[in-house]
Structure 1
Amino acid sequence: MNEIQFESVRKAKVRLKYLLGELVLGNWYPELLVLTPRRFEQEGWPLAPEVLAEMLGDENDGAFCRKVPAENFEPGLGKYGSFLSYVPYRDVLYYVSVSGSFTEYLNKFSTKSRQNLTRSVRRFAERQQGLPSWEVYVDYETISEFYSEALRISKQTYQTKLLHAGLADSEAFLEHMKNLARNGQARGYLLRDSGRAIAFAWCRQQGDRLIYDTVGYLPEFSNLSAGTVLLYHIIEDVFSSGNYKEIDFGPGEAQYKSMFSTHRKEFVDLYLLRDTVRHRILVSAHYYLLLISGAIGRLLERYGVKKYLKAWIRRLKS
C-alpha cells in the first residue's frame, strides 16, 4: 500500500459527536475505511486520493486517515482529489518513551514535582497498612475479574455519565478484552484502598506501544490523587516489564498527559468523504458547532464561570 506501514486497516462506523461544550447533541456514524499508520513520520501519508478511491468499496462513505502530519492540512472543509476533506481540529499526542530506567525517567520531573509525586504515592501506600495498593491483570483467566471491578468504577465517573466515554458495558467488549489477554496484549490495572478498587486503567498493546486507553476513579477519592498514584505504578510497571518502547496517552490535552509524558506531537485526523450534498451539510454542521462551542467556552473561561457550569452539568447527569 504505497510502502506505508499500517497499524490497522479496517472498515467501521466512525462516530462523529455533535458537541456543545460537554453536552452531546447528536451523533453521526459514517461508514469509513479507517487507516492507522504505525508512525507519524512516514513519507507519502496520507495516500494519494486516487489510491484511496481504489481501496474503497461501494458501501463506504469515504476514508478516515489517522495521525496525519498537522502541517499538511488546516482545520475545516476542503478538497483532496475527488474527496471532500474535513479536519475538525488539530490534535496532540503525548507519550512516554520507555528507555533507560524508571529512576532516570523520574529525573525528568522538576525536584518539586518529583517530591510531590513520590509523596502522594508513599502516603497512599502507608494508608494501606501493608495491603497491596495496586494490581495488574494480564491473563485470560483473570481479565473478567478486572472488567467487573473496573466497570463498577466507570459507571460512577463523569466520563460515563456525561460524555458516554467510559468503559463499554457489553459482552462483546468483554470478549474483546479476553481475546487481547489470550494473545498477551491486555493489561488492566486497579488501585485499591483498604481492599476496595477505587481507580482503574484499561491498557492494550499495539506493536511495541502500550495504549493508555480507558481510565477512571471514584469521585470521592479525588483527594487521594487516585488517578495520579495509579499512573505512577503503571509507568513503573511498564519500565520494569521491558516489553514496550512507548506508553501512548492517546489524543487530546490533559494536565496529567503533559506532566507524565516525555514527548508531544501534533497531528490531525482526516476525514475524506464522497463529495455529496448530504456529507457537506453534515460535516459543515459539525465544524461550525465546534467553532460555536469553542467561542462560548472561551467566553465562559474569561469570566471565570466555566468550571462552575461544568460542575453543575455533571451534577445534573449524576
Structure 2
Amino acid sequence: MSAPIVLTRDAEPLPLRFQIGARTIAAVQRQLVRVPLSLDMVLDGRLPTLPPLARSAHGYAITSLPLALGSAMAAAGSGMIAHVRQGYTRHYADLTIGFDGYQAALSGNTRSGMKRKAKRVMEVSGGVLDVRRFRTPEELNIFHDAARRISLRTYQERLLGGGLPDDPAFLASMYALAAAGAVRAWLLYVSGEPAAYLYCPIENGTVRYDHVGHDPAFNDLSPGGVLMLEAMRDLYAEPGLRWFDFTEGDGQHKRSFATHGAECLDLLLLRASLANRATLAALGAFDRSAAWGKRTVARLGLAGLAKTLRR
C-alpha cells in the first residue's frame, strides 16, 4: 500500500481576494498553509495529509485538489470550515506521444489557427520565425533581461503582480535550475523586438508552465500562441519528458494546447472562528454575485467590452 502524501509548510500571509476578472476589489489577509498539489499528485488521486497547523495560522489553502476528493478533504479538516474557492480543469499534455501525435490531438481549429498566426508573424518579421531558446545559466541571464522588459508591459504584472519575478530568490532558483539542466525558456522576436516569453522548470520529467507573457503591442499577432507551439515542438524532440503541466486554473490558451485534463478545485479550510465564518460568508456572496454578473454580461453579448474595462 502506498504511503500517504505528506506536505510540510509554514503558514504565510495570503490574501483572500474579492476579485472580478483581473481586478481585486478588496482582500482579507489570512495566515494560511499552502497545500499545492503537483500534477503527479493529482493523477495519483490520493488524499494529501495536512501538515500540522501552528497556533497563529488560520488554516489551509489547498489548490488543484481532485474534484472527487473534495468531501474527503473537508472531512479531514475536522471541525474546520470548508469553502470551495473555485473549480476548474487542470490541463496537461502527454509528452510521450510525439509531435505528430500531439498535433493530431489538437482541434482542427487550433491547428489551422496556429498555422495562420505563425505565417502572419513570419510575414511581419521578413519571412523568419525568430524563436530563441535558453537553458544554461548564461543563456538564462540573457533571457531574463528581455523577458522582464516584456513582463513589465503585461496586465498580469500591472494588475495581478503575476509577471516574471526579478527578486534575488527567484534569480538564484533560476540559475540553480539552469545549472542542473532543469529549466527551459523561450523568446519570440517579431521584427527584431522581443514579443513573447515562456519559462518552464522541469521536475521528474514534468515540464511546468510557470511564467508566460507577451507584449500587448503585438496582441493582433497572438505571439504567445505561436511561441507555445514552437516550445512544444522542441519538448517533443527531447527524450525523457512525460508531461507538460499547465498548472492551476483554466483558460482558453490552456484548453487549446492540452491533450488531457483533470477536474480539480481550490479548497480553503479555516479554523471555525467567528471572523473566519464572516469572511467566508462575505466571500461566497461576492463570488455568487460576480458569477451572476458574468452570466448576465455574456447573455447580453458584452463580454469583450467587459474584459477590456477590467484590464
Please indicate the TM-score interval, normalised by the length of the shorter structure.
0.7 to 0.9
Counting only pairs closer than 5 Å after superposition, residues 127-276 of structure 1 correspond to structure 2 as: 127-129=124-126, 133-276=130-273
Offset at residue 313 of structure 1 (A): 3.9
Alpha-carbon spacing, 1:112–1:272, altered in 2? closer, same or farther (3 Å)? closer
Return the alpha-carbon distance in structure 2 between the equivalents of residues 101 and 71 of structure 1: 31
Q: 1:179-217 CA deviation, whole Å, 9 max, x = no partner?
A: 322332222211011322111112122332111122111
* Matching residue's letter, 1:32: L
Q: Give the RMSD, CA atoms, in angstroms.
A: 2.6
- Which deviates more from structure 2 when the two are superposed, residues 204-213 or residues 14-23? 14-23
* Matching residue's letter, 1:20: I
Residue 285 of structure 1 aligns with which residue? 282
Offset at residue 79 of structure 1 (A): 8.8
Residue 25 of structure 1 aligns with which residue? 25
- Which deviates more from structure 2 when the two are superposed, residues 187-196 or residues 112-121? 112-121
Residue 99 of structure 1 aligns with which residue? 96
Residue 45 of structure 1 aligns with which residue? 47
* Matching residue's letter, 2:111: R
Return the alpha-carbon distance in structure 2 between the equivalents of residues 43 and 23 of structure 1: 33
**Residue 120 in structure 1 maps to residue 120 in structure 2:** no
Contact 1:21 1:294 in 2 (8 A): no
Question: 3-state SS of the aligned residue for 2:10?
Answer: strand
- Which deviates more from structure 2 when the two are superposed, residues 19-28 or residues 216-225? 19-28
Return the alpha-carbon distance in structure 2 between the equivalents of residues 281 and 111 of structure 1: 48
Contact 2:63 2:248 in 1 (8 A): no
Return the alpha-carbon distance in structure 2 between the equivalents of residues 312 and 292 of structure 1: 18
Question: 3-state SS of the aligned residue for 2:268?
Answer: strand
* Matching residue's letter, 2:303: K
* Matching residue's letter, 1:229: V
* Matching residue's letter, 1:154: S
Alpha-carbon spacing, 1:22–1:66, altered in 2? closer, same or farther (3 Å)? closer
Contact 1:9 1:36 in 2 (8 A): no
Offset at residue 21 of structure 1 (A): 3.8
Return the alpha-carbon distance in structure 1 between the equivalents of residues 68 and 43 of structure 2: 12
Number of aligned positions between the proteins? 305
Return the alpha-carbon distance in structure 1 between the equivalents of residues 195 and 64 of structure 2: 33
- What is the percent sequence identity of the aligned residues? 27
Q: So what's the TM-score if we normalise by structure 2? A: 0.87
Return the alpha-carbon distance in structure 2 between the equivalents of residues 61 and 184 of structure 1: 38
Return the alpha-carbon distance in structure 1 between the equivalents of residues 61 and 110 of structure 2: 39
Return the alpha-carbon distance in structure 2 between the equivalents of residues 111 and 170 of structure 1: 41
Offset at residue 178 of structure 1 (A): 2.2
Unmatched segments (≥5 aa) in structure 2? none
Offset at residue 139 of structure 1 (A): 1.4
Alpha-carbon spacing, 1:44–1:188, altered in 2? closer, same or farther (3 Å)? closer
Unmatched segments (≥5 aa) in structure 1? none
Return the alpha-carbon distance in structure 2 between the equivalents of residues 163 and 43 of structure 1: 31
Alpha-carbon spacing, 1:194–1:9, altered in 2? closer, same or farther (3 Å)? farther
Q: So what's the TM-score if we normalise by structure 1? A: 0.85
Return the alpha-carbon distance in structure 1 between the equivalents of residues 107 and 268 of structure 2: 40
